[in-house]
Amino acid sequence: MKEKENKKREEKLEALKKVKDSKELEPIKTAIKDMEEVVQQIGAQMYQQQQQTAGAANPQDKKDPVEGDFEEVKEDKKKDK
């Protein structure tokens, strides 16, 4: 599937390169719009992958945090050591 996406991206990029120096405004606008759609799709896929990775690393069935005991060290105790 990535090959298909890469091919589509390359096609849109090549189309944009071909019209970038033309004096016609509409083909440039169309090529830019097409490229923007491809970039948005790539961004959405990256975001989805990130969310899946974060979900796997941080499962929702976490246990509640446990409070620990601590002892405050006073200045006098620090000097003795």
Per-residue pLDDT tens for 31-58?
999 999 999 988 998 899 888 887 666 6
Exposure b/e, 35-69, CB count within 10 A at least 16 = b: eeebeeeeeeeeeeeeeeeeeeeeeeeeeeeeeee
pLDDT(61) > 80: no
What does pLDDT average to over the chain?
82
**Is the pTM of the predicted complex or chain greater than 0.85?**
no
Average pLDDT over residues 15-34: 91
pLDDT higher for 49 or 61? 49
Residues 48, 56: contact at Cβ < 8 Å? no
CA distance readout (Å), 46 to 37, 41, 43, 56, 75:
14, 9, 5, 15, 52
